[in-house]
Amino acid sequence: MRGVPGDLTTSTRPPTTIPLRHFLVALAFLVAGGALGLLRVAGVAGAGPGLDGIAVAHLLLVGWVCLTIIGAMTQFVPVWSGVEIHSERLATLQLVAVAVGVAGFAAGLWLGRPADAALAAGVMAVGIGVFAYNIARTLWRARPFDTTETHFALAVGFLALAAVLGGTLAADYRWSVLAGTGLSRPAVVDAHVTLAVLGAVVTTVIGALYQLGPMFTQTDTLPVETRAARAETAAYPVGVVALAAGRLVEQEAVATLGGLLVAGGAAVAGAVLLRRIRDATGAVTPMLSRYAVVAAATIAWSATAFATWIRTPLGAGVRFGHPAVGPVLLGALVGFVVVGSLYHVVPFIVWLDRYADRVGLERVPAIDDLYDARIASVDLAATLGGALLILAAAVSPAVASLGPDGLLVGGLVHTAGGALVVLGALLFAGNMAGTVIRHGGPEMLRRSGSGSTVDSEASDAADR
């Protein structure tokens, strides 16, 4: 595995405006999804009963998480792999198509017009297809793959498959395309969610952590961890395929095997990250503090998912593992790694654009000086506290035993937790937007230069 900063090259990255635009648009979807999600928690639903939840899920998962991943891969696959991005024009097109598609799809569902939402879903699927093609062509020149590149290639494939199933589900709203196929809509939804979340998103997270973990904890890879990573790289993707396929055709044995491989593979990645966080040297940053939450959430999620899927891997209630805690733990795994990574990536991109060419000529700020550290601490406390409240409301036997009063208390605790999570998300989004505005300005988003003349020594100076 390549795991040290010296293996990276900055001469092949695309213009910094491309990923930054992805990140800022993704932050807008985070705010929108959080706001609508809070309305649902408060009992204010959209016009489409049952559809408003799907709208919020797509705003957060596709609009925020996947757009962030798409932007990050577009920037860092060329850096990690040392190859040019296949097409910068396609990288710009993918953002427009996915953003327009997600917004239109979510709006259609929230307003109770799923047939119209199907058209926007097609635009979204095209955007994801453009991204998959662009990254696949880029990675093709990077062979042989290291561990991170293997995970990224698999994640892109999972995302493309999820888009196909998602497009099919959306088309079914309008044209009933599933009729006569022998597949039930709930089964297709289960497979779609599995490929999207456990396939595309979590595979990307695991692959990125194999690279970012050593880099930012400044720890060496132990021989046992190298062997464990190889086993995970083989087991986890096979598990995703088996779990998705088993759910699609409703074969419990196949899905069970896949679920156990998924849970086991994630546990390996979480244990490796936890060891690195434990042995990390240097100052604690917003990135490392959130990665610590990710490590704990990954191990807890893996254990509860294993215990659940060994009994039954089928059904909407167990899509993310344990019915009560699975969604919360998996949400923490994904959310905290995205937020933690962006607390470094966004300031880093701004630093490259604004300050890199001044290194050696004048005093320049470090990356961690560009954002407001106090807000970063508050948003961590809010999101972590909110997640813990939601978790407590889901599992507390004391609350459940109180009967109707317990349900009321549990509902209040859940609502308070949701409000804290949304507050933390808003603070984080404002902190990142403020970083761009204060140090880069609107003109940064309009520039098309890549800043590729900045060499790796100047980039490394950002942390000094």
- CA dihedral (159, 165, 170, 175) positive or negative: positive
Q: What CATH number did the domain enclosing 374 receive?
A: 1.20.210.10
- pLDDT classification of 452: cutoffs 50, 70, 90: very low
Q: Would you state the pLDDT for residue 10?
A: 52
Contacts 24+ apart (CB under 8 A), 261-265: 261/235, 261/236, 262/198, 262/236, 262/305, 262/309, 263/239, 263/302, 263/303, 263/305, 263/306, 263/309, 263/321, 264/235, 264/239, 264/302, 264/306, 265/206, 265/231, 265/232, 265/235, 265/236, 265/239
Q: What is the pLDDT of residue 387?
A: 95
Average pLDDT over residues 276-303: 93
Q: By the 8 A CB rule, do 149 and 139 touch?
A: yes
Q: For residues 412 and 418, what is the distance between their CA atoms, to the nearest angstrom?
A: 10
Query: What pLDDT band is residue 446 in, cutting at 50, 70 and 90?
Result: low
Whose tokens are 């905290």? That residue is 336
Q: What is residue 69's three-state secondary structure?
A: helix
**Reported confidence tier of residue 336, pLDDT bands at 50, 70, 90:** very high
Residues 2 and 213: beta-carbon distance below 8 Å: no
Higher pLDDT, 354 or 294: 294
For residue 9, what pLDDT band results from cuts at 50, 70 and 90? low
What percentage of the chain exceeds 90 in pLDDT?
68
Both tokens assigned to 204:
């990307």
Confidence of residue 4 (pLDDT cuts 50, 70, 90): very low
Tell me the pLDDT band of 410, cut-offs 50, 70 and 90.
Answer: low
pLDDT of 13 reads 58
Mean pLDDT, the chain, rounded, equals 88
pLDDT for the residue numbered 268: 96
Q: What is the mean pLDDT of residues 346-361?
A: 87
Number of domains in the chain: 1
- Asked if residues 277 and 217 have their Cβ atoms less than 8 Å apart, the reply is yes
Residue 463: CB atoms within 10 A of its CB come to 15
Collapsing DSSP to helix, strand or coil, 83 comes out as coil
State both tokens at 236.
């986890």
**pLDDT at 407 exceeding the cut of 80:** no
| Rounded average pLDDT over 422-430 | 95
pLDDT grade for 399, boundaries at 50, 70 and 90 = very low
Residue with tokens 């990276």: 8
pLDDT band at 76 (very low <50, low <70, confident <90, very high): confident
Confidence of residue 401 (pLDDT cuts 50, 70, 90): very low
> At 360, is the secondary structure helix, strand, or coil?
coil
- In 3D, which of 70, 73, 71, 93 has the Cα closest to residue 81? 73
Q: How confident is the model at residue 414 (pLDDT cuts 50, 70, 90)?
A: confident
State the pLDDT at residue 382: 97
pLDDT band, residue 397 (cuts 50/70/90): low
Domain around 171: 5-463
Write out pLDDT tens, residues 217-274: 888 888 999 999 999 999 999 999 999 999 999 999 999 999 999 999 999 999 999 9
For residue 38, pLDDT over 90 is answered with: no
Per-residue pLDDT of 144-186, as tens digits, reads 899 999 999 999 999 999 999 999 999 999 999 999 889 999 9
For residues 248 and 189, is the Cβ–Cβ distance under 8 A? no
pLDDT of residue 188 exceeding 70: yes
Q: Which token pair is 219?
A: 């720890």
Q: What pLDDT shows up at residue 271?
A: 96
Percent of the chain exceeding pLDDT 70 equals: 90
Query: Does residue 448 surpass a pLDDT of 60?
Result: no
What span, in angstroms and rounded, lies between the C-alpha atoms of 12 and 190? 39
Helices 286-309 and 202-217 sit at what angle, rounded to 10 degrees?
140
Q: What is the pLDDT of residue 408?
A: 56
Please tell me the distance from the alpha carbon of residue 314 to that of residue 321, in angstroms, as a whole number: 10
CB atoms within 10 A of CB 123: 18
- Residue 464 pLDDT: 43
Which stretch of 42-51, 93-102, 105-114, 207-216 has the lowest confidence by average pLDDT? 42-51
pLDDT at 2 over 50: no
